[in-house]
Amino acid sequence: MVADFRLRFWVSAVLSVPVLALSPMIQAFLGLDNALAFTGDTYVLFALSSIVFFYGGWPFLKGLFSELASLRPGMMTLIALAISVAFFYSSAVVFGLSGKVFFWELVTLIDVMLLGHWIEMKSVMGASGALEALVKLLPSTAHRLDDDGEIVDVAIADLKPGDRVLVKPGEKVPTDGIIVKGRSSFNEAMLTGESRPVEKGPDQEAVGGAVNGEGSVTLEIRKTGAETYLSQVIDMVRQAQETRSRTQDLANRAALWLTYIALTAGTATLIFWLGTGEEFSFALERMVTVMVITCPHALGLAVPLVVAVSTRLTAQNGLLIRDRAAFERARNLDTVLFDKTGTLTEGKFSVSGVVALGDMPEAEVLSLAAGLESQSEHPIARGVARGAHERGVSAKSASDFRNITGQGAEATIEGRKVQVVSPGFLRENGKEVDDPKVRKHADEGDTVVYVVVDGEPVGAIALADVIREESFEAISRLKKMGIRCMMVTGDATPVARSVAEQLGLDEYFAEILPDQKAEKVRDVKARSLTVAMIGDGVNDAPALVESDLGIAIGAGTDVAIESADVVLVRSDPRDVFAILALSRATYSKMVQNLLWATGYNTFAIPLAAGVGYPWGVLLTPAFGAALMSLSTVVVAINAKLLGRAGNLANRSD
């Protein structure tokens, strides 16, 4: 549709040049009376104008019938009415009716309307790619195990319940199933919001789309197609997109009233002048002048120009607007609902505490762990290495590194056997530790691993998802503005409580699944609150669509970005302030433009109808055209002034 409007605009614009050159009114205005006249010029003018009317004006003529069929006349009705009156009246003049041709008015109106629709559609375009992005989370093939144990790569669509598939380290789980062999950790952050890799073994369920960690596992397929967890998320996104209400376009409402005014005033003008005994040609010209001066040149650009300017400004400030209607509603926000993992937090582990369980110093415990974990790419291993670096602790040199599938890793350091293992490993080997400091970290939701040297636990390391530095500032400023700040997460309650307390959030919702996230948004909206949802994962997609304003962190998944109304390209939660500032300024400019675009009709229409005729004041079509041009220029200048609506780059305002 964008390409169609673009093509129609350029074809119409090219044909409009000779139409303007051949129009008597334009020639008179430029002092070129009859300078370009030639035999049959009026028929050439008619032919060119007919092409512009039927080709360039077709989207509006088609829209007229659609709006009338739904009994909701709007912008398309007004445009179609204006160009039809100008075309058929001017055609009648060409073929003998007394009067003046308005072909130049016809083609310029079509050009401006095509340009306005092209700009608007380009600025707010796009069928959402959320569903396609969700589907891409699944691999295209799976390693199916035949009855004889042979591995055969098959398409996901060919899998059926009961099939067994092999999932290798680093691969995505093809579809929902039960682990029948092997043990590994699974990264489900983009599906459930759980920031910690989830350890799973035999008889536990693996979710399609989750990323397998360090171990190979064999799954027995339990669900396929529409039954899978990911498919249910896709359905929720689709349903939310289809049922999401959109604010009615202000320009359409203004066009509706202008349509009524144009029809009423035009008809009343014709009847009045005929009733006073004036000639039909005079009465008809008065009616046409009224209809023409009501033509929405400025109205057609009032909103698109502001949208175009605000889109440019937001792009310059790291904000990508995907839904204008939702963006405009941001001016009324009073509640912001944050996802935790990857939004308020960095989505990666770091050391939150080290507990020595014997005589070994804490720094020595961390140094041994960092030396071992430097050999691994596991998220916890990277967190230990990162934590040691942040604390200025050097990692010891390790050799003979080996994974302990699903439970940790081991290596040789300075001639000693060093292991970094899970609490489950200690329990299985009769070395379970009960320490109040360790217990405190676990109660706060931290992930705890133990450092074992030559078979004896010497320390524990607690890891937590790191809260973004920007999050503290963002929450503080939002609360100063009187906006309630809440958090919704799939993480465990202790983790959520710890983050909420550190940031000073008003409320938090923990252990929430995707369907529950969307439900929580609905619950908050039910309190008569206008809600913005900020997130970055697949699990956030339904909630992003359900909210009044969905905001995606730019570093998140394609799903979240495609489901959102606004994308924070810089992944900075403080950019919510820029959204609020620009939303308010944009809406203000739209209202100003709409008031100006329709307001000049208050005095122009009565003059066009002939109110001043008894006193010798009669608004000519040329003067009416000048008024319309002035209105369009004022609208364009006012839209440009949006760039002065505050310094968005300074987010401390």
Instruction: List the domain boundaries for the chain.
Output: 2-127+247-302+583-644, 134-241, 348-466
Neighbours of 264 (CB within 10 A): 11
pLDDT of residue 45: 92
Return the C-alpha torsion angle 149, 152, 157, 163, nearest 10: 0
Residue 351 to residue 366: CA distance in whole angstroms: 9
The H or E element spanning position 389 is helix 379-390
Chain centre distance of CA 574: 17
Chain centre distance of CA 546: 12
Residue 50 to residue 138: CA distance in whole angstroms: 53
Residue 260 to residue 108: CA distance in whole angstroms: 23
User: For 395, what's the count of Cα atoms within 13 Å in the CB-facing half-sphere?
Assistant: 20
pLDDT of residue 505: 94
Residue 83 to residue 97: CA distance in whole angstroms: 18
Measured in degrees and rounded to the nearest 5, phi and psi for residue 457 equal -65, 125
Measured in degrees and rounded to the nearest 5, phi and psi for residue 200 equal -140, 150
CA 4, 10, 12 angle in degrees (round to 5)?
95
What token pair was written down for 556? 């998140």
What token pair was written down for 586? 């944009």
Asked if the domains at 134-241 and 348-466 fall in one CATH topology, the answer is: no
Of the candidates 564, 560, 561, the residue with the CA atom closest to the CA atom of residue 547: 564
Complete DSSP assignment for 197-240 = PEEE-TT-EE-TTPEE-SS-EEEEE---GGGSHHHHHHHHHHHH
What token pair was written down for 417? 């056997």
Spell out where 437-555 has E strands. 447-453, 456-467, 484-488, 507-509, 531-535, 549-553
Q: Which of 111, 176, 339, 446 is catalytic?
A: 339
Positive or negative: CA dihedral 473, 475, 480, 481: positive
In the beta sheet, which residues pair with residue 575? none
User: Cβ contacts of residue 530 below 8 Å, gap of 6+?
Assistant: 329, 332, 333, 334, 335, 548, 549
The H or E element spanning position 480 is helix 469-480
Q: Decide: 499 and 340 in contact? Cβ < 8 Å.
A: yes
Whose structure tokens read 């055209």? 625
Of the candidates 524, 513, 515, the residue with the CA atom closest to the CA atom of residue 490: 513
Positive or negative: CA dihedral 221, 222, 227, 228: negative
Helix (H, G, I), strand (E, B) or coil at 578: helix
Whose structure tokens read 């120009």? 305
Q: Decide: 380 and 404 in contact? Cβ < 8 Å.
A: no
Residue 548 per-residue DSSP state: S
pTM over 0.85: no
Q: Decide: 444 and 470 in contact? Cβ < 8 Å.
A: no
Q: Decide: 358 and 453 in contact? Cβ < 8 Å.
A: no
In the beta sheet, which residues pair with residue 154? 142
Instruction: Enter the CATH code of domain 134-241.
Output: 2.70.150.10
Residue 598 to residue 604: CA distance in whole angstroms: 10
Residue 481 to residue 653: CA distance in whole angstroms: 11
Is 147 labeled as catalytic in the residue annotation?
A: no
Q: Decide: 452 and 439 in contact? Cβ < 8 Å.
A: no
Complete DSSP assignment for 40-54 = THHHHHHHHHHHIII
Residue 199 to residue 335: CA distance in whole angstroms: 35
Three-state SS string over 273-327 comes to HHHCCCCHHHHHHHHHHHHHHCCCHHHHHHHHHHHHHHHHHHHHCCEEECCHHHH
pLDDT mean by block of 10 residues, the chain; 653 residues = 86 92 76 72 92 93 86 74 83 83 82 75 49 66 86 88 91 90 81 69 87 88 79 62 45 71 84 87 74 64 73 71 75 89 82 89 92 84 89 90 82 92 86 88 84 92 87 89 88 84 92 81 92 81 87 69 76 82 82 78 78 77 60 77 59 43
Residue 539 to residue 229: CA distance in whole angstroms: 11
Of the candidates 137, 143, 130, the residue with the CA atom closest to the CA atom of residue 187: 137
The H or E element spanning position 416 is strand 416-421
Residue 43 to residue 311: CA distance in whole angstroms: 43
Of the candidates 131, 106, 139, the residue with the CA atom closest to the CA atom of residue 19: 106
Residue 86 to residue 65: CA distance in whole angstroms: 18
Chain centre distance of CA 583: 14
Residue 496 to residue 490: CA distance in whole angstroms: 9
pLDDT of residue 122: 63
Chain centre distance of CA 520: 20
What token pair was written down for 437? 């400091």
What token pair was written down for 326? 């939702």
Q: Decide: 56 and 12 in contact? Cβ < 8 Å.
A: yes
Measured in degrees and rounded to the nearest 5, phi and psi for residue 301 equal -105, -10
Helices (H) and strands (E) in the chain, counts: 25, 22
Measured in degrees and rounded to the nearest 5, phi and psi for residue 464 equal -140, 155
Q: Decide: 471 and 503 in contact? Cβ < 8 Å.
A: yes
pLDDT of residue 190: 60
pLDDT of residue 218: 93
pLDDT of residue 503: 93
Q: CATH number of the domain at 348-466, out of 3.40.630.10, 2.170.140.10, 3.40.1110.10, 3.40.50.150?
A: 3.40.1110.10
